[in-house]
A and B are shown apart, each in its own frame.
Chain A
Amino acid sequence: MSATDGAEPSVSSSNGQVPVDALAAAGLAEVEAHTPILELAAIRAAYGQIQVLHGVSLKVFRGETVVLLGANGAGKTTTISVMSGQMTPTAGDYLLAGRRVNGAAPDALARIGVCTIPEGRGVFPNLTVTENLLMASYGGTPAARIKDQAFELFPRLAERRNQAAGTMSGGEQQMLALARGLVTNPAILILDEISMGLAPIIVDELYSYVARIARSGVSIVIVEQFAHRALAIADRAYIMAHGSVTAEGDPADMEAVLQASYLGSGH
């Protein structure tokens, strides 16, 4: 696939001007469709003096669901911290829709549509479900619409709207975290180990929601240690080890790659 071929102005004009319309029609649209919505290029990142990411490169195209797998300590969460703006890379490029955003603040990235659901859910335990949802609004979105949207997708949350988030089950808290991300209407949703500590049946339910979100055109990055369910809904997969990407490919092939290495597929 050569995205740039189309960018060559195939129509020449006598006055030497670039025929913009023709160019756009013939090439730019196609090039744009091939510009990843999110790209990490040779990203390095460190905690103080300890370098953890040694040149991570990956791409997420629009509407795609990409899963990032790897053992404990491979650097998955660190990679996500770079994507969310929590960490500024020490080298490499972080691109969103083609623009370099190294050093952009996490709240700025969240506001423009990069929604991250951190490891360990991150709901406010003492606030009710409704209050947690409203925390997600950046002023503009009316409270009523936020609630309609969240409660329509997650009826279970509607039943518990006045319950303190901390008293809900792990699965329900994870749903709340998902709902809170979704009401911001993100372009990119980044999920760090949403299945952690949950019963398989709950994980299935959560992933059915994630699949639904994916169908609505949100680009999704899923980080998981237990691969099976994430691979089932992913379009593409990356495997990380020791701070680098070691494999990339079709999710169907990845199960075999994983089985051959440290992980073994999920159950």
Chain B
Amino acid sequence: MTDQGSADQRYADLQREVEKLRIRERSPDAERRLRFSGVFATGLGLLLIFLGYWGASGTNQTYEHIPYLISGGIGGLALILMGGFITVRAWVVAMNAELVIQSERQTQVLERIEALLAEQHD
């Protein structure tokens, strides 16, 4: 019969280890969404600025320019900045994930070499 005590122990060990696991969601979708929202925010910002310019150019009263300046100019600029930030972030996230994978591979190789060296000394 199955050694139930040992099965429980293995379950407990796995449960403890799995809680410690750091999981990078390697979902290509998440990255694509992030990049898309960056581009979208930038585009929306440009559109707002254009609409603001277009609205403001329809009148030569300075007091009427102010709402256009605020929502079109400042709002648009903020969106462009945000879009740029998100785009850079998407890029950094992707690069970082790649680095982590690389360094994990290197660690594995080193561990194997270490094991083989230990073997030589036996």
Chain A residues at the B interface, C-beta cutoff of 8 Å: 37, 62-64, 88, 96-99, 101-105, 107-108, 111-114, 130-131, 134-135, 137-139, 142-144, 186-188, 214-219
B108 & A107 in contact (Cβ 8 Å cutoff): yes
Among candidates B9, B25, B108, B111, residue contacting A217 with C-beta atoms closer than 8 Å: B9
Give the interface residue-count category, chain B: 35 or more
Distance from B115 Cβ to chain A, minimum over Cβ atoms (Å): 5
Nearest residue (CB) in A for B3 is A217
Nearest residue (CB) in B for A136 is B115
B15-23, B34-42, B85-93 - interface stretch: B15-23
Interface of chain A: mostly helix, strand, loop or mixed: loop
Interface of chain B: mostly helix, strand, loop or mixed: helix
11 new A-B contacts at CB < 8 Å, known A103-B24, A113-B17, A218-B7: A63-B2, A63-B4, A63-B6, A99-B15, A104-B23, A107-B104, A111-B17, A112-B17, A131-B119, A143-B119, A216-B6
A217 & B6 in contact (Cβ 8 Å cutoff): yes
Residues of B within 8 A of A131 (CB): 116, 119
A113 & B23 in contact (Cβ 8 Å cutoff): no
B27 & A217 in contact (Cβ 8 Å cutoff): no
What are 14 inter-chain pairs, A to B, with CB distance below 8 A?
A63-B6, A96-B18, A97-B18, A101-B21, A102-B25, A103-B24, A105-B101, A112-B17, A113-B10, A134-B116, A137-B115, A187-B11, A217-B9, A218-B10
B2 & A96 in contact (Cβ 8 Å cutoff): no
